[in-house]
Amino acid sequence: NAGVTQTPKFRILKIGQSMTLQCTQDMNHNYMYWYRQDPGMGLKLIYYSVGAGITDKGEVPNGYNVSRSTTEDFPLRLELAAPSQTSVYFCASSYLGGRDHEQFFGPGTRLTVL
C-alpha cells in the first residue's frame, strides 16, 4: 500500500512551458485534492475532486487545470508556466466517512519556474 504518490519530485520549467504533475493513490479514496505551499503562506487549495469525472475549483485555480478519469489518478496541468507558480505542490486524498476526515498527503513536487 503506497498511499499517495507524486511524480516528479523536482522540476525546473522555463517561463511559458507546460507540464503535468502526476498524482496516484491506491487507497480507493473518492476525494482528491491539489494544494500549493509557498514559504510562510500555508497550503492553498487549487482544485479538488469528489470522484471520477467530477472536479471543482479551490481557492487558487488560475493557471491550472485538472481531470479525474479514474478513482486512482488526479493529474494537475500547468499551462504557460509563470514565476508565480514556483511552489511546492501537494496532492492529497480522503475517504467520505473516513476517520477524522483525514486527508493523506503525498511527498510533494518542488517546481521552479525561471
| CB closer to other proteins, 17 vs 37 | 37
DSSP SS3 for 84: helix
Binding mask 84-103 for other proteins (x = CB under 8 A): ------x-x-x-x---xxxx
Residue 73 binds other proteins, judged by CB under 8 A? no
* Shortest distance (Å) from residue 38 CB to other proteins: 10
DSSP string of 12-67, one letter each residue: EE-TT--EEEEEEESS--SEEEEEEE-TTS-EEEEEEEEETTEEEE-S--TTEEE-
Find the binding residues for other proteins in span 41-60 (CB under 8 A).
41-45, 48, 50, 58
DSSP SS3 for 114: coil
* Shortest distance (Å) from residue 79 CB to other proteins: 24
